Amino acid sequence: MKSSLLIIVLLTSRFLGAATFEVSEALMAFTALATPGALKILGKQSDPKAIKTKIIIHGQQMSGTASLQLVSLSTGIDLRDKHMKEKYLETDKFPQAIFTFKKLTLPNELTGEKIPFDGTMNLHGVEKPISGYIRLEKKESALTITHEFKIKTGDFGITTPHFMSVTMGQEVVVKVILEGNLKGDLN
């Protein structure tokens, strides 16, 4: 009985196709608006190794996680970065953010079209549902995955950042770009 079940699982996996995505380049960037004057705050991770991913594609279904070491975030202004990490994100208590999506249904061709997704974000010790768009573009075994979504800092228990007369808005737009190769068989 066990050997029959194993054979069925192996044949099903082969029929559906299974591949993992090995990331060679990763970039996370964020944009937030602040007042007065609709000041734009731009940031990104400063260490390319700060993003870890595990993405699996079975047939037309994709699932995975991405984690980011928050201490790697940088806006290019040292004092702002210090306040962001120590006072607001509290990276000593909450060192990483984890994004998870489950069973995203992919189109037949991965040509970069926008696909809506639902997932979860664990940030500042709080897990919340999030939604956004993902694009997958495949050229032979090379794959680029771009996700874009919005979060509200207050939803994650993060105090609204302010310094002197500048107050950051609660909405943050996050964009993650992953480039790499598929390992395994999709067909």
pLDDT digits (tens, 9 = 90+) for 19-55: 888 999 999 999 999 887 678 999 999 998 899 999 9
Query: 169, 33 in Cβ contact below 8 A?
Result: yes
Instruction: Report the candidate in 42, 67, 64, 39 with the shortest Cα–Cα distance to residue 52.
Output: 67
In a domain, 38, yes or no: yes
Question: How many domains, in total, are found in the chain?
Answer: 1
Task: Kindly state the tokens that stand for 100.
Answer: 């998870």
The pTM of this model reads 0.84
In a domain, 74, yes or no: yes
In a domain, 8, yes or no: no
In a domain, 168, yes or no: yes
In a domain, 1, yes or no: no
In a domain, 77, yes or no: yes
In a domain, 4, yes or no: no
pLDDT at 17: 62
- List the domain range (segments joined by +) for residue 175: 17-185
If pLDDT is split at 50, 70 and 90, which confidence band does 186 have?
low
CATH number of the structural domain spanning residue 147 = 2.40.128.110
In a domain, 12, yes or no: no
pLDDT at 15: 37
